[in-house]
Amino acid sequence: MKLESYLFIVFAVFVSACNGNKVNKEEADAQSSVDAEAVINEDVTDGAVDFIKEMYNNVCYEDYAFLKKHCSADMLKKLEEDYEYEGGGYAVWEFRSGAQDGPSDQHEIISVTPEGDNWYKYEFYDMGIKGSHEIQVIQVDGEYLIKDLK
């Protein structure tokens, strides 16, 4: 074999080895990124679940200062538009069952289930009546914000 053939073979082996390492490194980096996102999302999910429980169990949604701090501008606008009475305000009842009376004074979260894309289903008792809502909670600058509610 000629020298050029040997050089070509050595060069081809070298390029192949480098590309293989690059692909493996990219795959490893991608997996590390996925693992890091899973940890971050898990932490956010746990915090959001605690936030929803506290918000409902402590009736924080009736406190306008709480709403102004923990609702997105769009959510506040929606609560304001849905307010049915003179003088303006927020339709805080949208966080509850909508019932005016119930068989007891039981008011507590039963469960909060992550549904993906920052949406959570929360099941609750409101005056002893079982209900549920879906709520979208995001984290901005370390604060939990209610982005939407259905």
Tokens standing for residue 75: 């959510």
| pLDDT score recorded for residue 100 | 83
Q: What is the pTM of this model?
A: 0.70
Q: What's the per-residue H, E or C state across the chain?
A: CCHHHHHHHHHHHHHHHHHHHHHHHHHHHHHHHHHHHHHHHHHHHHHHHHHHHHHHHCCHHHCHHHHHHHECHHHHHHHHHCCCCCCCCCCHHHHCCCCCCCCCCCEEEEEEEEEECCEEEEEEEECCEEEEEEEEEEEECCEEEEEEEC
Torsion of the alpha carbons at 4, 8, 11 and 17, rounded to the nearest 10: -150
* Mean pLDDT for all residues in the chain: 80
Q: How far is CA 5 from the centre of its chain?
A: 59
Residue 103's identity, in one-letter code, is: P
Name residue, tokens 């966080």.
Answer: 95
* Domain encompassing residue 19: 3-149
| pLDDT score recorded for residue 45 | 85
| pLDDT(8) > 60 | no
CATH number reported for the structural domain that contains residue 96 in this entry = 3.10.450
pLDDT band at 98 (very low <50, low <70, confident <90, very high): confident
- CA distances to 127, 132, 133 from 98, in Å: 10, 11, 11
Domain tally, the chain: 1
Torsion of the alpha carbons at 38, 39, 40 and 43, rounded to the nearest 10: 120
CB 53 within 8 A of CB 109: yes
